[in-house]
């Protein structure tokens, strides 16, 4: 496509908005001529103030972003997925670590996580790759290179990232993050043990730099996220630690389990590592005000909950209350749990963050356990915003919205699967699918035994081949307009009954529809390709920080569409055992234009720009839209040509 034809198409497609006030002098200026975002102030389209829809254009399918009446008679989107893991070469079987000796079965149960997945384009070819973990001795993790045609090639050996399950160590989670801002995603592997940090050498190979990084603290980490808590331009690491720091594989004292099954305070808490910008990290947990937390942290999440431009954190704790910390903007956090969410006694399993009702405040979805014998209900924390006194509060609306039950919940993610402008939810569940006998009645005998010491591994009955909350169907909640959700996993074809753990969402074939990868404990993984019919329009942004961290984690994108305000933040691994794409995907339904698009970078820089619809755009901090690294041409929508023909 020539630059001229590209601009002509862009002008028609974009229906460019009035030139907005430019908070950043750079704005979209400087973008390459061949990008479709012909939108900078001063452009012909922008100068016209506002473009009208071409006379012969028709609204695209999908509900309008405003959630009101549809623009046309297009059919409502029908969310559908096809499981293609085996065909794609992405089917990998996870293996739980086997224990030996007294309490082996119990410890195996308590460490039954570890089936994790992280999405990242490690070779910058415009296609999202996968890193998938395993946890048993002798089992390796896998790096799957995305071939761009919905197939993957296992490149683990060449990359040198298959290790981690050495004796005494159990792989539990993984994370892509560019810790040295060199433009190449590096890889962190979290473990029950010490983490592994691999530096991306840029030639398909990785180098183990753990020793030099200073990440040498033994914890029983089960979750890890990257975000820039002090906005210094370098990504820091927050680990969620489940057990206290004892080596479960060489247990000296059997008293390692929760001291209370609803209010446990003998867990591993969290560890915050500050990136010093020179390839090393330093433990700042206590200094940052997080050292007093001793819960059984099962997941950690971040987001700017109070809209002050700084990243806050939510800790989902098993066997006890979750915790919310707000960023003091000086390298420390303050706990606001009591005033913001109150104290709970649930089994927190997952944290994901998204503005499901488009009110401009980030909400939080936490899975708990809602089973026949444990009726906890999940928590959909609606962010009420900051009141006049400066207090941030949330209200749990999971029951009202229909998102209460995901059975024995695990990872759950916000994603707009039909591009209608509303964030849907996909949730994994299921603990252990095994024999016919149920472990719960056996466990009950222990729980109600007078004076029993829950902490003692030897007091827990052996599970043998029994099933415990197994064979549970996954849940997909379609957002019906910000107030209520409809569960439609079976209809969408994703109601598998595997023992799910992580859910990583990304557009693996760059077709404008979000797919997802599901890991399962001790079972094969699944890859779901999104085959939704009549989806809405969309934009997708890959943000590249310059003053901010290179991955732009923490950047907030605000799109105004037909009177609605949609916000998205780039997150660094929110959600249990999974990292979704760091690209920002925004569906806009049947709308044919975005009235304004603003990026607030972690550095504080605010840019306004326009980008083409139904296209992946690379946006560099201070430079606006740029060509995609490697092959930006490949990274635009494939197979959607029919959907772009409504433009002249």
Give the span between the Cα atoms of 225 and 439, in whole angstroms: 33
Burial of 217 (0-12, 13-18, 19+ CB in 10 A): middle
Task: Tell the smallest beta-carbon distance from residue 370 to another protein (Å).
Answer: 9
Q: Which stretch binds another protein (CB under 8 A): 39-47, 272-280, 368-376, 626-634?
A: 368-376
Cα separation, 404 vs 367, whole angstroms: 8
Nearer residue to another protein within complex by CB, 42 or 360: 360
Nearer Cβ to another protein (389/641): 389
Stretch (H or E) spanning 184: none
Residue nearer to another protein on the CB measure, 203 or 395: 395
Do the Cβ atoms of 489 and 474 come closer than 8 Å? Answer: yes
Q: How far is the CB of 213 from another protein (least distance, A)?
A: 37
Q: Are 335 and 325 in contact (CB under 8 A)?
A: yes
Task: Kindly report the backbone phi and psi dihedral angles of residue 48, in degrees, each rounded to the nearest multiple of 5, phi listed first.
Answer: -70, -5
> What is the rounded distance in angstroms from the CA atom of residue 381 to the CA atom of residue 337?
12
* Residue-wise burial string across 454-475, b where 16 or more C-beta atoms lie within 10 A, e elsewhere: bbebebbeebeebbbbbebbbb
The window from 28-36, 436-444, 518-526, 603-611 that contacts another protein (CB under 8 A) reads 436-444
Which residues 127-166 are close enough to bind another protein by CB under 8 A? Answer: none
CA separation for the pair 585, 602 (Å, rounded): 18
CA-angle at 23, arms to 21 and 27, nearest 5°: 90
Q: Where do the H-state alpha helices sit in 448-583?
A: 489-492
Q: Does residue 261 bind another protein (CB under 8 A)? A: yes
CB burial class (10 A; 0-12, 13-18, 19+) of residue 338? exposed
- Of the pair 137, 337, the CB lying nearest another protein is at 337
Report the candidate in 100, 113, 40, 195 with the shortest Cα–Cα distance to residue 408. 113
Please state the closest distance from residue 201 (CB atom) to another protein, in A.
47
Minimum separation from the CB atom of position 460 to another protein (A) = 13
Q: Which ranges in 72-230 belong to alpha helices (H)?
A: 85-88, 104-110, 156-159, 210-213
- Give the pair of three-digit tokens for residue 311: 């990243």
Q: Report the residue from 250, 253, 372, 436 that binds another protein according to the rule CB under 8 A.
A: 372
Contacts of 338 (CB under 8 A, 6+ apart): none
Does 346 bind another protein (CB under 8 A)? Our answer is yes
Interface stretch with another protein, choices 53-61, 345-353, 495-503, 614-622 (CB under 8 A): 345-353
Least spacing, CB of residue 253 vs another protein, in Å: 22
Complex with another protein: residue 377 or 599, whichever CB lies closer: 377
Q: How far is the CB of 163 from another protein (least distance, A)?
A: 38
Instruction: For residue 474, give the DSSP letter.
Output: P
Shortest spacing between CB 361 and another protein, in angstroms: 12
- Interface positions, 322-341, toward another protein (CB under 8 A): 338-341
DSSP code, position 107: H
* Nearer to another protein (CB atom), residue 25 or residue 448: 448
Using CB under 8 A, pick the residue from 452, 465, 547, 639 that binds another protein. Answer: 452
Given 1, 44, 447, 490, the residue binding another protein (CB under 8 A): 447
State yes or no: residue 444 binds another protein (CB under 8 A): yes
Dihedrals φ, ψ of 135, to 5°? -130, -10
**Dihedral of the CA atoms 359, 380, 219, 447 (nearest 10)?**
170
Using CB under 8 A, which of 334, 373, 471, 633 touches another protein? 373
Binding residue (CB under 8 A) for another protein from 23, 53, 209, 374? 374
Instruction: Of 440, 388, 468, 358, give the one whose Cα is nearest residue 64.
Output: 358
Size of the site for another protein (CB under 8 A): 40
Q: Report the nearest approach of another protein to the CB of residue 583 (Å).
A: 32
The least CB distance from residue 495 to another protein, in Å, is: 20
206 vs 394, beta carbon nearer another protein: 394
Minimum separation from the CB atom of position 481 to another protein (A) = 21
The secondary structure of residue 449, as a DSSP letter, is S
Near another protein in 7-66, by CB under 8 A: none
Residue closer to another protein (CB basis): 124 or 337: 337
Q: By CB under 8 A, which span of 216-224, 288-296, 343-351, 584-592 interacts with another protein?
A: 343-351
Cβ proximity of 150 and 84 under 8 Å: yes
Task: Choose, by CB under 8 A, the member of 345, 459, 546, 565 that binds another protein.
Answer: 345
Q: Check binding of 459 to another protein (CB under 8 A).
A: no
Q: Please report the beta strands in 562-630, taking only residues with DSSP state E, as ranges in sequence order.
A: 564-569, 578-579, 584-589, 596-600, 606-608, 616-620, 624-626
Q: Closest separation between CB of residue 71 and another protein, Å?
A: 36
- Dihedral sign computed on CA atoms, order 545, 548, 554, 559: negative
Q: Which is nearer to another protein, 37 or 316 (CB)?
A: 316
Only one of the segments 163-171, 189-197, 426-434, 447-455 lies at the binding site for another protein (rule: CB under 8 A); that segment is 447-455
Are the beta carbons of 594 and 424 closer than 8 angstroms? Answer: no
CA distance 335 to 175: 26
Please state, in angstroms and rounded to a whole number, the distance separating the CA atoms of residues 22 and 19.
8
446 binds another protein (CB under 8 A): no
**Binding mask of the shown chain, residues 383 to 422, with x at each position contacting another protein by CB under 8 A:** -x--------xxxxx-------------------------
Near another protein by CB under 8 A: residue from 25, 52, 69, 448 = 448
Binding residues for another protein restricted to 298-327, rule: CB under 8 A: 320-321
Site for another protein in 562-581 (CB under 8 A): none
What letter would DSSP give residue 20?
Answer: P
Helix/strand/coil for 104: helix
Q: Which residues bind another protein (CB under 8 A)?
A: 260-263, 320-321, 338-347, 369, 372-377, 379, 384, 393-397, 438, 440-441, 444, 447-452
């Amino acid at each position: 496509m020539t630059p001229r034809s590209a601009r002509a198409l862009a002008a028609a497609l974009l229906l460019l908005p009035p030139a907005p006030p430019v908070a950043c002098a750079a704005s979209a200026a400087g973008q390459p001529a061949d990008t479709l975002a012909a939108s900078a102030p001063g452009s012909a389209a922008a100068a016209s103030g506002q473009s009208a829809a071409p006379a012969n254009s028709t609204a695209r399918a999908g509900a309008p972003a405003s959630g009101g009446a549809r623009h046309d008679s297009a059919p409502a989107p029908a969310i559908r997925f096809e499981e293609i893991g085996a065909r794609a070469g992405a089917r990998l079987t996870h293996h739980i670590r086997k224990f030996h000796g007294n309490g082996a079965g119990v410890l195996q149960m308590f460490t039954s996580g570890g089936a994790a997945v992280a999405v990242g384009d490690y070779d910058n070819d415009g296609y999202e790759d996968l890193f998938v973990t395993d946890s048993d001795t002798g089992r390796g993790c896998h790096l799957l290179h995305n071939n761009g045609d919905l197939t993957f090639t296992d490149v683990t050996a060449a990359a040198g990232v298959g290790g981690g399950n050495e004796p005494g160590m159990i792989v539990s989670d993984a994370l892509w993050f560019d810790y040295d801002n060199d433009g190449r995603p590096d890889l962190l592997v979290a473990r029950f043990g010490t983490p592994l940090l691999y530096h991306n050498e840029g030639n398909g190979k990785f180098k183990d730099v753990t020793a030099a990084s200073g990440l040498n603290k033994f914890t029983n980490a089960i979750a890890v996220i990257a975000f820039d808590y002090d906005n210094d331009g370098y990504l820091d690491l927050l680990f969620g630690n489940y057990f206290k720091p004892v080596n479960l594989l060489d247990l000296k004292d059997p008293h390692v389990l929760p001291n209370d099954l609803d209010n446990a305070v003998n867990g591993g808490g969290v560890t915050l590592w500050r990136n010093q910008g020179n390839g090393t990290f330093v433990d700042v947990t206590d200094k940052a005000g997080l050292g007093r937390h001793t819960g059984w942290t099962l997941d950690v999440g971040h987001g700017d909950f109070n809209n002050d431009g700084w990243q806050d954190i939510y800790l989902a704790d098993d066997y006890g209350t979750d915790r919310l910390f707000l960023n003091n903007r000086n390298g420390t956090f303050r706990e606001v749990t009591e005033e913001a969410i109150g104290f709970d006694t649930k089994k927190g399993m997952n944290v994901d963050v998204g503005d499901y009702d488009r009110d401009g405040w980030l909400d939080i979805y936490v899975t708990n356990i809602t089973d026949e014998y444990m009726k906890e209900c999940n928590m959909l924390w609606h962010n009420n915003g900051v009141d006049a006194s400066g207090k941030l509060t949330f209200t749990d609306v999971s029951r009202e919205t229909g998102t209460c039950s995901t059975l024995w919940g695990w990872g759950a993610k916000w994603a707009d699967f039909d591009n209608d402008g509303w964030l849907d939810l996909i949730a994994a569940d299921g603990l252990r699918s095994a024999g016919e006998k149920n472990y719960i009645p056996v466990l009950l005998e222990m729980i109600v035994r007078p004076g029993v010491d829950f902490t003692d591994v030897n007091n827990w009955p052996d599970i043998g081949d029994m099933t415990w909350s197994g064979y549970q169907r996954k849940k997909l909640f379609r957002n019906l307009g910000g107030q209520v959700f409809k569960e439609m996993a079976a209809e969408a074809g994703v109601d598998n009954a595997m023992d799910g753990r992580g859910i990583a969402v990304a557009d693996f074939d760059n077709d404008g529809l979000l797919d997802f990868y599901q890991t399962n404990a001790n079972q094969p993984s699944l890859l779901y390709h999104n085959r939704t019919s009549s989806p809405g329009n969309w934009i997708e942004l890959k943000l590249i920080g310059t003053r901010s961290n290179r991955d732009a984690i923490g950047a907030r994108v605000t799109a105004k569409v037909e009177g609605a305000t949609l916000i998205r933040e780039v997150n660094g691994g929110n959600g249990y055992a999974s990292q979704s794409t760091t690209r920002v995907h925004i569906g806009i339904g049947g709308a044919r234009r975005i009235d304004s698009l603003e990026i607030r970078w972690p550095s504080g820089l605010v840019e306004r720009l326009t980008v083409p619809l139904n296209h992946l755009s690379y946006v560099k901090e201070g430079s606006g839209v740029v060509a995609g690294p490697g092959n930006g041409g490949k990274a635009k929508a494939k197979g959607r040509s029919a959907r772009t023909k409504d433009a002249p």
